[in-house]
Amino acid sequence: MKDLESTPPSKLLIYGASGFTGNLIVHEAARRGLDFEIAGRNEDKLAALAAELNVAYHVFSVGDIDGWKKSLTGKTALLNIAGPFSETADQAMDACIKFKVHYFDITAEVDIYRLAESKDVAAKAAGIMLISGAGLFTTYDPLVVHTAKRVKNPIAMRAAFKYSGGFTPGSVASSANIIAAGILVRKNGELKKLDESPSTAFDLGSGPEDFSLMPLGAVVLSFKSTGIPDIEEYFKMALPAGRAEEGQSKPERNAERSKLLVEVTGEDGTIVRSMADMPDGYMPTATSAVEIVSRALNGSYKIGFQSPGSAYGAELITSLPDVRVTDF
């Protein structure tokens, strides 16, 4: 292990660094020249990764407050990639509040967004920003902000996400939490649980396709960024679920790109649609997470519970590599 005493303070701590997505993120952070250290619970995996990247590492469980204290000292931000986040986010958020460090994670678990929302007052008192959902929502939420600006007084939003790629074990475990949270929509400004998940057809460029209603998180995060009172989200897999590694390591497979359609209705009945398409698999999460974290490291942040769009606006999406936005 590196001698932390002789290492100058770094700005970013990446917890859960040795998982599949963690690996993508630390290499992207290194490529971007971020000043970071890594952490997690598995000493062997972290030591190997730290040696490869020539960074310091910290081994501790999420419940170890001394571990957080040592590893967060001298840091500006934490990026938590250890999922399922039902097991890690509460402790990591509280540590960030206690040690006054901005918090980011890449969860897709809607209950974790609500958890972050519930810590708004504490985060503000600590002078830190809490962003849960710095993965997909770094694209999704600014796209909603962008689309909402195209109408006067937006009153309703529907989104359809067609994901192209597989799932890691961490994502499979998180999916169980997403399903357990129930079929949530936002209606008249309030979260509402539906008894069943109706399917609806959307055209993302290859004709109408059926999508299932599923709360991906805009019901919390895009309500935060836009205040749109009625929000419904739909999901579809472009490929059969499998191990993400298989999809990631075979670019010759030439998989379809992931696509996200956002449809906003204005008070006068005008309907506008914007669509983002991005590379398949987990790489967009890595580039997005590093982009948004680098903003906080550079001193750009808003205190309290934030979504990517509420903190950085529609412009954020234009800084993401290989993400194309079309308005129609």
Ligand X SMILES: NC(=O)c1ccc[n+]([C@@H]2O[C@H](COP(=O)([O-])OP(=O)(O)OC[C@H]3O[C@@H](n4cnc5c(N)ncnc54)[C@H](OP(=O)(O)O)[C@@H]3O)[C@@H](O)[C@H]2O)c1
Residues at the contact surface with ligand X, assessed by CB under 6 A: 16, 18-22, 40-42, 45, 62, 81-85, 87-88, 106, 108, 135-136, 168-171, 174, 282, 285
Of the pair 21, 310, the CB lying nearest ligand X is at: 21
Residue of minimal Cβ distance to ligand X = 83
Of the pair 45, 75, the CB lying nearest ligand X is at: 45
Closest contact distance (angstroms) between CB of 261 and ligand X is 17
Of the pair 76, 80, the CB lying nearest ligand X is at: 80
Of the pair 154, 309, the CB lying nearest ligand X is at: 309
Closest contact distance (angstroms) between CB of 150 and ligand X is 25
Residue 184 corresponds to which amino acid? L
- Asked whether the beta carbons of 274 and 144 are under 8 A apart, the reply is no
Closest contact distance (angstroms) between CB of 41 and ligand X is 4
Bridge partner list, 183: 194
Closest contact distance (angstroms) between CB of 293 and ligand X is 14
Q: How many residues does the chain have?
A: 328
Of the pair 154, 305, the CB lying nearest ligand X is at: 305
Residue carrying structure tokens 């008249």:
188
Closest contact distance (angstroms) between CB of 207 and ligand X is 27
